[in-house]
Amino acid sequence: MPALPRSFSVSAAGTWRQCPRRWRFRYVEKRADPPGEPALLGTFVHRVLELLCAEPADGRDLDRARRLAAEAWPETAEDPDYVALGHDAEAQRNFKWRGWTAIQALWQIEDPADVEVRATEARVEATVGGVPFFGVVDRLDVEADGLAVTDYKTGKAPRPGDVPKSLDQVLLYAAAVEDHLGERPARARLYYLGSGVHQTDVTDSGLDGAVERFAESWAGVGRACAADDFPPDVGPLCGWCPYVADCPEGGDEVRSRAARGRLRDDAPARVLLGLPA
C-alpha cells in the first residue's frame, strides 16, 4: 500500500485532479517528469526576476535586467534538461528572445523600482486545511494595506471562466503564508507576463473555497493510497503525459485520437508511442 507523502503542493494537487494514474507515476513511483521547453523557459524567467527583485529598488531597471539575464543564462544552458532539448543556434536564440520578451513584460504591469519586496522564492511549509502544505512563493510584497502574494506566469492567461480556478494557487499560498507568518496577506495575484494580471482580495470566503478544494484532493489521495487504486482519467492531455507508454488506457486514448486526426503533431506521445508525426 503506498504511503501518503509528507507534504502536498499546489502542483501535486493539480496533477491529482488531472489524472490519479499520472500522480501515482510521479509521486509514488518517483518517476522523472522532465520539464518541457515551456517549463524551462519559465524557470529562466523566474530566476532573472528573482535576481532583479533582490537588487536595491532604484537599480531595478531594464538595463540591469538585461545584464542579469546574461549572467543567469549559463545556468539554463548547462541544465541537462535544457541540453536534452537539442536546440541548435537558431532555436536557442528564439528561446532566449521569448524569455527576454517575458522579462521585459513585467514593466507593462508595474515599475519594479516602486515595489517593496519582502521576500522572493520563499519556501513555505504550513498546515492548510489540515493538509501538510509545501510551496515556493515567487514574491511577497509589502503594500499600504498589507502583504501581497505575487506569482509569475509565462504561459497563456486562462479563459475568463477559468480565472477563479487559477487563483486557487495564490490563495493557497496566502493561506500558507498566514499559517507560517501569522499574518494574512491582503491580496493574491497572478502576473501573466505579456497578458496582464488576475488578482483577488484575500477574504474568508475565497480562502475557504480554495482550501476546501485542496483538502478534497488530499483526501482523494489518501483514499487512493489506502486502496492502492489510481485510475486513469483519459483525455486530450494524455498526448502530453510522459508516462503514456506505460499506461494502457492512456496509450489507447492517444492512438484513437491520432486515428481520428485529433492528436496534435507536436504531442510528445507521438514519439513515446512510435506514432507518425
Residues in contact with 115: Cβ distance below 8 Å, sequence separation at least 6, in sequence order: 53, 57, 60, 141
In this structure, the answer to whether residues 151 and 249 fall within a common structural domain is: no
In this structure, the answer to whether residues 76 and 165 fall within a common structural domain is: no
In a domain? residue 240? yes
Question: Residue 165, SS3?
Answer: helix
pLDDT at 276: 87
Give the helix ranges, DSSP H, for the chain.
10-18, 20-23, 37-53, 62-77, 80-83, 89-104, 106-109, 163-181, 204-227, 248-259, 269-272
For residue 245, give its domain range.
Answer: 232-277
pLDDT at 178: 96
In this structure, the answer to whether residues 98 and 138 fall within a common structural domain is: no
In this structure, the answer to whether residues 119 and 196 fall within a common structural domain is: yes
In a domain? residue 170? yes
* pLDDT tens-place values along the chain, 277 residues long: 899 999 999 999 999 999 999 999 999 999 998 888 999 999 999 999 999 999 999 999 999 999 999 999 999 999 999 999 999 999 999 999 999 999 999 999 999 999 999 999 999 999 999 999 999 999 999 999 999 999 999 999 999 999 999 999 999 999 999 999 999 999 999 999 989 999 999 999 999 999 999 999 999 999 999 999 999 999 999 999 999 999 999 999 999 999 999 999 989 999 899 998 7
Angstrom distance (rounded) from CA 186 to CA 264: 42
Choose the final residue of a domain: 112, 139, 165.
112
> Could you give the number of structural domains in the chain?
3
Write the DSSP symbol of residue 26.
Answer: I
In a domain? residue 45? yes
In a domain? residue 253? yes
pLDDT at 35: 87
In this structure, the answer to whether residues 106 and 122 fall within a common structural domain is: no
In this structure, the answer to whether residues 208 and 269 fall within a common structural domain is: no
pLDDT at 34: 85
- Closest of 16, 15, 29, 31 to residue 223, by C-alpha: 16
Q: pTM of the full predicted structure?
A: 0.93
Choose the final residue of a domain: 64, 92, 112.
112
In this structure, the answer to whether residues 122 and 217 fall within a common structural domain is: yes
- The three cell numbers locating residue 60: 531595478
Choose the final residue of a domain: 112, 137, 168.
112
pLDDT at 1: 83
Question: Residue 255, SS3?
Answer: helix
In a domain? residue 28? no
- The three cell numbers locating residue 123: 519556501
In this structure, the answer to whether residues 180 and 250 fall within a common structural domain is: no
In a domain? residue 3? no
In a domain? residue 23? no
In this structure, the answer to whether residues 164 and 183 fall within a common structural domain is: yes
In a domain? residue 51? yes
pLDDT at 150: 97
